[in-house]
Amino acid sequence: MTGPAPSPVRGIVDLSHPLDDGTPVYPGDPVARFTPATTIGEHGYNVLHVRMGSQTGTHVDAPYHFLEDGARIDELSLDLFLCPAVMADVRGKAPHQAITWADLAPVADRLSPGRMLVLHTGWDAHWGTDAYFDHPFLDGDAAERVVAAGVRTVALDALSLDETVLGGEPAAGFPAHLAVLGAGGVIVENLRGLDAVRSAEPLVSVLPLRIAGADGAPVRAIAFDVGP
């Protein structure tokens, strides 16, 4: 008698930040607030009152986030949120420095339809500090080339795929968002813990809450290390 086939999953890595009242948000977005609605002591059961924006914490942007006629989060194929990922190590970038197509050259030949591109900036180390807003970002040309390769899900461990400028919009606008979302794709922001992922191409789940008509939603992002 033979036993079950060994699982191809070697480990599971949580890529999500905890949500609490101190969760950093994009400038101008609603801050998160979590307060008891009921308690066991007073009501016999606990219920938490959750108040936050759709783009809070580790989350996914739907096309509707930037495009009036874009698909809402509940209208998108689940294939966008569960797929093998190509990990691009772009650590070492300076604050506000662009991630270019040249930076993606080591993984460019693996970018294809059905793959998720994950940009490992290492910027999650600054979570909860002012420096978190000074993250590197994907430039418009690189975003266009990623989309041209067939990729429709782009993720990173920073606040935004485009540059963040406190007190105003970035001078270049939001070219990376428009390239990915304009192609019907999705963007995952505020990942964490990518240095714990061992596979070069892990299976990554970023399944969002099914909020009807929303521009985006929080996710519990998970990487499954796969391989022999």
CA distance 189 to 159: 6
Instruction: Please give the tally of structural domains in the chain.
Output: 1
- Please, which pLDDT band fits residue 196 given cuts at 50, 70 and 90? very high
- Residue 39 located in a structural domain: no
**pTM of the predicted model as reported, rounded to 2 decimal places:** 0.94
pLDDT at 83 over 80: yes
Beta strand 116-120 with 82-89: parallel, antiparallel or unpaired?
A: parallel
Give the three-state DSSP class for 40.
helix
Q: Is the dihedral of CA 60, 62, 64, 65 positive or negative?
A: positive
What's the pLDDT score for residue 2?
A: 52
What's the pLDDT score for residue 217?
A: 98
Distance of CA 170 to the CA centre of its chain: 20
**Domain span at residue 218?**
10-16+54-226
Q: Find the CATH number of the domain harbouring 104.
A: 3.50.30.50
- Please, which pLDDT band fits residue 226 given cuts at 50, 70 and 90? confident
pLDDT at 32 over 90: yes
- Residue 145 located in a structural domain: yes
